[in-house]
């Protein structure tokens, strides 16, 4: 299976509302942006996305109101790959 096909399949799994919670962590490394769009995210899953998902999922979570600007500073400290809180707020507009 090609890389693009794998990404499509993993993205589809990440968006599936019937995804079992134990598979969330397995998809975190490969489909974090799709996971950030889920309607059923728990607080723990939001923290995991911010800690391990990188800037893309963090920005999506800010846009959706699931990650607030005041929480981005702590998230950025835990994940040096995240942009600064002001940048996340700007990008989330």
CA–chain centroid gap for 77, Å, is 16
pLDDT per position as a tens digit, 51-91: 877 778 888 888 898 887 666 666 666 666 665 665 666 65
Q: Could you tell me if residue 65 is left (phi over 0), alpha (psi between -120 and 50 degrees) or otherwise beta?
A: left
CB atoms < 10 A from the CB of 56, how many?
14
Distance CA 1, CA 14 (A): 18
pLDDT per position as a tens digit, 6-41: 778 888 888 888 888 888 888 887 888 889 999 889
């Amino acid at each position: 299976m090609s890389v693009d096909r794998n990404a499509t399949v993993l993205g589809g799994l990440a968006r599936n509302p019937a995804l079992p919670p134990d598979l969330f962590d397995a998809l975190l490394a490969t489909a974090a942006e799709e996971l950030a769009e889920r309607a059923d995210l728990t607080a723990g899953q939001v923290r995991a996305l911010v800690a391990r998902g990188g800037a893309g999922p963090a920005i999506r979570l800010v846009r959706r109101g699931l990650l607030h600007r005041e929480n981005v500073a702590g998230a950025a400290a835990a994940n040096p790959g995240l942009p600064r809180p002001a940048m996340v707020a700007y990008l989330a507009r």
